[in-house]
Chains A and B, each alone.
Chain A
């Protein structure tokens, strides 16, 4: 597809339920990022993949959060035993292939709005 896609767009979960959020990156984008955006705040970094390798997971708020990208393309963010404070928009962003350039812009998907009741 032309851009980053995410599914589902909206998810309502009961407290304690497990959820899985999917990100389909722009074809050929090596780097993939997950961010969490609470209401009225800027996005906050969760984790980063380069191909299938998870290079940084320092932003994951607890061990209930787990992300994977097994084949270096689609990524899934899983949240176990959801709690009300997990309610937020979860954004996926991808970045162009590595080269000699110092950095590239990140392109965001539409996000998944998670509401935990």
Chain B
């Protein structure tokens, strides 16, 4: 059975801190790894990673995939209160089906 595990499950930091969110996966016919940010609504797309070792960057957020270790990390530097959300990791397998982790709840305190 396909599985995605995220850690830690929750995290509290202060504004300006840097955080690293972890994701590991076991998915048959793996195609790509996606990160989403979820506030009080639907997940919004952050990154899609297909190749190992190539960092994707968007502002203060960056992410990288390690296909050998079957894992990915999402880094957020200089955190802001607006970064408070649930961060979901999903692995895409056969039929483009996404298997999600439970999510990491990030709280950024002023």
Are A45 and B98 neighbours in the complex by a CB distance under 8 Å?
A: yes
Instruction: Provide the bound-state CA to CA distance between A93 and B42, in Å.
Output: 10
A111 to chain B, nearest CB (A): 5
Chain B interface, >50% SS class: strand
With contacts A43-B43, A111-B41 taken as known, whether A106 is within 8 angstroms of B98 at the C-beta atoms is yes
B7 to chain A, nearest CB (A): 13
Contacts of B101 in A (CB 8 A): 42
Are A43 and B95 neighbours in the complex by a CB distance under 8 Å?
A: no
Interface size on B, residues (CB 8 A): 24
Are B48 and A105 neighbours in the complex by a CB distance under 8 Å?
A: yes
Are B45 and A107 neighbours in the complex by a CB distance under 8 Å?
A: yes
Instruction: Provide the bound-state CA to CA distance between A18 and B31, in Å.
Output: 36
- Say if the beta carbon of A79 comes within 8 Å of chain B: no
- Say if the beta carbon of B73 comes within 8 Å of chain A: no
Are A103 and B48 neighbours in the complex by a CB distance under 8 Å?
A: yes
Are A102 and B42 neighbours in the complex by a CB distance under 8 Å?
A: no
B99 to chain A, nearest CB (A): 7
- Say if the beta carbon of B97 comes within 8 Å of chain A: yes
Are A103 and B31 neighbours in the complex by a CB distance under 8 Å?
A: yes
Are A102 and B103 neighbours in the complex by a CB distance under 8 Å?
A: no
Q: List 17 A-B pairs, Cβ < 8 Å.
A: A33-B96, A33-B97, A40-B102, A41-B103, A42-B101, A43-B88, A43-B98, A45-B97, A45-B98, A48-B96, A48-B97, A91-B42, A103-B31, A103-B50, A103-B92, A103-B96, A108-B44
Binding site for B on A (CB under 8 A): 31, 33, 35, 40-45, 48, 55-56, 91, 93, 95, 102-111
Binding site for A on B (CB under 8 A): 4, 31-32, 34, 36, 41-45, 48, 50, 88, 90, 92, 95-103
